[in-house]
Structure 1
Amino acid sequence: MKQILILSIIFFLAYGCTQKDKNTKEVNKTNVAIIFIDDMGYGDLSCYGDSIVQTPNIDALASQGVRFTNFYVNSPICSPSRVALNTGTYPMRHKIHSYIAGSKENENRAMANYLDPSVMTLARTLQNSGYATGHFGKWHMGGGRDLGDVPYPTDYGFDKSLVSFEGIGDRVLFPNDGLCKQSAELGKGKIVWAPKHVSTSIYIDSALTFIQNCDEKPFYINLCPNDVHDPHLPESSKVEKWKAVTDNPYEQKFFAVLEELDKQIGRFINELDQMGKLENTLIVFASDNGPTDWPHYYNAKRYPDDYDGKLYAPGFTGGLSGRKWSLYEGGIREPFFVYWKGHFPAGVVDDTSVLSAIDIFPSLCSVLGIKTPDNLDGTDKSQSFRGVKMEDTPAVMWEYASNPGGSILPGDKNNISPNLAIRKGDWKLLVNVDGTEAQLYNIKTDPQEKVNRIDEEKELAQELQTQLLSWRNSMPVAIPQ
């Protein structure tokens, strides 16, 4: 493993920043790092209630910043969630409403094969303002399967990138994996083959090398580990301790992966500190959607013969209903905190402000003093980063599985939600595009979405449904008839 890491560092040593162009104006020197975890549930961190796996490194960083309990991503699945983060817009505007798969499947689902590179991204905005920009980890906004003729991450404003099999350009691929083999056949970049359990350490080493060479410019990086996305493939020796904690073999592996992820994030933060970069680095931490819910986790035939426990998927939602692929809270409400020493207060928990991933783009621009691009769906919530609880904010809306061609649905039928949702203030409405299965919840008093208030709040429900359906009808992907 050490040899792999050393080779990866040498291999990507060229990821340094070029010296500041003579024509580049002096820019804000604040560094920015967005850590966007793949498939981490709302309750997977111990600072969000996980009582089994302790995540001391992530918890320590969260305790030094502002931690939010009402943060949402804009889709319960990876590709559109990442598009929302990077563009500050609802992903359906770009015909990305589910995961980007092969070209034929994308066509059948009225999906784009990749994000249009002409769209303004956070990376390009910061790059235009003098930042060195890098993406390290999961991409999934174009590339992989049979999609080799797609834009590189560098076409979206990143100076350097190192991605996984769901992207092109330089990437880390896993041995004995069909999608990785398919990715390798596409070419289009330098490839490092390494076990999945060391991929995060490689991404972090590459990001640190990039940062180390950014003395002439402030840096902006996306760090996007994908170990918490199943299949969970930890180093075998790391699984033993968890066998005494749970009999569920899937959960044993998940706990080992989660513990190692926390160690790697801790290493990244410590290295930034050792470089003298941490004090002036603004850090955003979140996850792209709720924890996995494949049908096979509920299939007894997939478990060892001697397993007689309850069948359930690994990962915690903190008691929230729904998981990945669901518009219930457990699919879209995520852990989220911001850190910037001396600028954002420490030790604050904001249980009032409602934010979503599309707000990160305009909020960061506001904090950094950079002009926010026009036509973003997100709004400036930077005051909440500074410890001001924001009560009156615009509604947030979601779509999942209302489009042609079908979508992945949760393995537990109880987690299957209506295909549209809106949250406005304390209220959340879910409904199908045809008006069926309408559900209304007061999220402040009922975050588990147990008491449907649709009959007693008919006027409010109708108002929210009208707004939601109008929004859905404004999108470029037509509702199937």
Structure 2
Amino acid sequence: MGIRHSSAGKMIWLLALASLIHVSSLEAATAETVKQKPPRLNIVFIFVDDQGYYDLGCYGATEVETPRIDTLAQNGVRFTDYYAAAPICSPSRTGLLTGCYPRRTGNEVWVHRPDSGTGIPPSQTTLAELFKSEGYATACIGKWHLGFSEPYLPANQGFDHYFGILHNLDSYEVAHFEDQGGVPLLRNGEVVDRNVDPGKLIKLYTEEAIGWIEERVASRHETGSSEPFFLYLPHTMLHEPLGVSPKFDGSSNWGLYGDVIQELDFYTGRLVDALERLGIADETLVMYVSDNGRGPGRNQQQPIRGSKLTTFEGGLRVPCIAYGPGIREGHESTVVAHAMDWYPTLASLAGISIPKELVLDGRDLSALLLGETDTIPEFNQKVSLNAEVPLRREFHQDLEWERIFTRQEYLNAFFYHGSHGALAAVRSGKWKLALNPSLTLYDLEKDPGESHPLNSWEIKTKLRGMAIRFQREMIEQGNSN
């Protein structure tokens, strides 16, 4: 089955999204335009674990076939310079669900193990809580890994429905459940199985997701409501230990890892087909994103180096695809984007204004997705609903850096943090400055493999100043809490 939205459906959504997102357009809208009120946008956010930058066909992989995900990219927006919040699981997920650098929420160090007593602070408004407050049904189906005591569980972080494994399946975490029969597979707090074969999880999660969506659609038909939904689907795969179903065992030219990628592709297609079958594809945004990198490139056309846990490009630069109604088709975006951006962006696409008290590190990229700009949108509400949100961040320009970088440059910079939580590098435009063990500058447009250090005192000073400003922003935030 094809997944391209109908031209009529896309046109309706372009008109509707424009009326929701652009204040100036809303003011000028005619009564007839306002009456064309379509169903509110549904969101399916597929979050894959440990998939490297080059590990899809549309990102250069030749060892696997990923036709369903590649088609999403062909009919949507594919980001070339997109970054996870961190090169490791828990901080990365925190960045996505809070719109903040993990450091801002106290979740920047390593991962949460089963005996961890922390997680996303209850005072933080997660993406799920935001959408739920606006009348959305919310579900998390898959791996959580964001805290395991009561305040930090999915049900207390904005999700109406949870199905999955809260933990990793590596030996460090499995050991905590040996006397209980294995890691529990949960549905809304009830144990439905233990010690599940990792090779069954992709199918289990996808079937649960499809079933949950079917229930939402059926409920709409029965009640006449138009309740939208936000589905967060964080797969356990491709984290070690890998597992694949018999149907895909040996299906790729890349061993078990490649086989699992091909199974992920198949079930991503199953989910997209379900949206078509249920008649809601023209009102549903689909995101496909990895939580952190995995490893370096494998040939001369894949120059990125580094792996998971590192702050080389291979640790944080990952695949990111957006597909859905109103989203521009077949666009390759080279802007520097990151996980925190999805909080304000998805809110704008859904017509939700970010509460004034929330301070976020993400930027509203909705105008970019809709084809109104090819660059990072300005911080101006005339551009999009949540465009001004980054201006809430603390910014006191020190005299030392006053003429070195602007506020806009600072807010558009990306700050790399390592798996141990320390600030390790800064990217601004095409430039990346590694901070330790000494200041090392790279031009990532010409040298994405970080092999040829440059010696520009001016650019080094600029990015070093941004790093110092960021450190002080985090301190000022702590002092104000």
TM bin, normalised by shorter chain, reads: 0.7 to 0.9
Deviation at 1:165, TM superposition (A): 3.7
Partner of 2:374: 389
Candidates 328, 342, 348, aligned match of 1:366:
348
**TM-score after normalising by structure 1:** 0.74
Distance change (3 Å), C-alpha of 1:99 and 1:315: farther
Counterpart residue identity of residue 114, structure 1? G
| 1:134 correspondence with 2:130 | no
Partner of 1:207: 209
Matched length: 391
Assess if the C-alpha contact under 8 Å between 1:419 and 1:430 holds in 2: no
Counterpart residue identity of residue 191, structure 1? V
Counterpart residue identity of residue 360, structure 1? W
- Greater mean deviation of Cα atoms: 185-194 or 442-451: 185-194
C-alpha distance after superposition, 1:198-229 (max 9, x if no partner):
11211111111211121231111001112211
Partner of 1:21: none
Distance change (3 Å), C-alpha of 1:186 and 1:201: closer
Assess if the C-alpha contact under 8 Å between 2:90 and 2:111 holds in 1: yes
Assess if the C-alpha contact under 8 Å between 1:137 and 1:223 holds in 2: yes
Candidates 303, 307, 313, aligned match of 1:329:
313
Partner of 2:385: none
Partner of 2:234: 224
Candidates 211, 233, 239, aligned match of 2:243:
233
Counterpart residue identity of residue 213, structure 2? I
| 1:347 correspondence with 2:330 | yes
C-alpha distance after superposition, 1:398-447 (max 9, x if no partner):
221555xxxxxxxxxxxxxx951111111111113xxx322111112211
| 1:375 correspondence with 2:359 | yes
Deviation at 1:314, TM superposition (A): 9.9
C-alpha distance after superposition, 1:456-476 (max 9, x if no partner):
x11211221122133235436
Distance change (3 Å), C-alpha of 1:379 and 1:237: closer
C-alpha distance after superposition, 1:365-386 (max 9, x if no partner):
1222110233111111111111
**Secondary structure at the counterpart of residue 331 of structure 1:** helix
Counterpart residue identity of residue 255, structure 2? Q
Counterpart residue identity of residue 142, structure 1? G
- Percent of aligned pairs with the same residue? 31
What is the correspondence of 1:268-347 to structure 2 with a 5 Å cutoff? 268-291=271-294, 318-341=302-325, 343-347=326-330
- Greater mean deviation of Cα atoms: 316-325 or 227-236: 316-325
Deviation at 1:100, TM superposition (A): 2.9
Assess if the C-alpha contact under 8 Å between 2:185 and 2:192 holds in 1: no
Partner of 2:107: 96
Counterpart residue identity of residue 92, structure 1? R
Counterpart residue identity of residue 140, structure 1? H
Partner of 1:259: 262
Partner of 2:434: 430
Partner of 2:416: 398
Distance change (3 Å), C-alpha of 1:186 and 1:211: closer
Counterpart residue identity of residue 202, structure 1? L
**Secondary structure at the counterpart of residue 345 of structure 1:** coil
Assess if the C-alpha contact under 8 Å between 1:317 and 1:330 holds in 2: no
Distance change (3 Å), C-alpha of 1:324 and 1:88: same
Assess if the C-alpha contact under 8 Å between 2:150 and 2:156 holds in 1: no
- d(CA) in 1 for partners of 2:336, 2:245: 38
Candidates 20, 41, 51, aligned match of 2:52:
41
Assess if the C-alpha contact under 8 Å between 2:52 and 2:294 holds in 1: yes
Distance change (3 Å), C-alpha of 1:165 and 1:317: farther
Deviation at 1:101, TM superposition (A): 3.5
Deviation at 1:319, TM superposition (A): 3.0
Partner of 2:175: 178
- d(CA) in 2 for partners of 1:241, 1:339: 27
Assess if the C-alpha contact under 8 Å between 1:66 and 1:349 holds in 2: yes
**TM-score after normalising by structure 2:** 0.74
More helix by share: 2
Deviation at 1:236, TM superposition (A): 5.4
Deviation at 1:327, TM superposition (A): 1.0
- d(CA) in 2 for partners of 1:399, 1:173: 23
Counterpart residue identity of residue 287, structure 1? S
Distance change (3 Å), C-alpha of 1:126 and 1:465: same
**Secondary structure at the counterpart of residue 279 of structure 1:** helix
**Secondary structure at the counterpart of residue 222 of structure 1:** strand
- d(CA) in 2 for partners of 1:335, 1:203: 21
Counterpart residue identity of residue 328, structure 2? P
- d(CA) in 1 for partners of 2:166, 2:43: 25
Q: Which runs of 5+ in 1 are unaligned?
A: 1-25, 107-111, 246-250, 294-312, 404-417
Distance change (3 Å), C-alpha of 1:381 and 1:178: same
Distance change (3 Å), C-alpha of 1:123 and 1:431: same
Distance change (3 Å), C-alpha of 1:395 and 1:240: closer
- d(CA) in 2 for partners of 1:149, 1:126: 21
| 1:124 correspondence with 2:136 | no
- d(CA) in 1 for partners of 2:233, 2:301: 23
Counterpart residue identity of residue 356, structure 1? H
Assess if the C-alpha contact under 8 Å between 1:401 and 1:419 holds in 2: no
- d(CA) in 2 for partners of 1:149, 1:27: 38
- d(CA) in 1 for partners of 2:337, 2:428: 11
Partner of 2:42: 31
- d(CA) in 1 for partners of 2:427, 2:108: 19
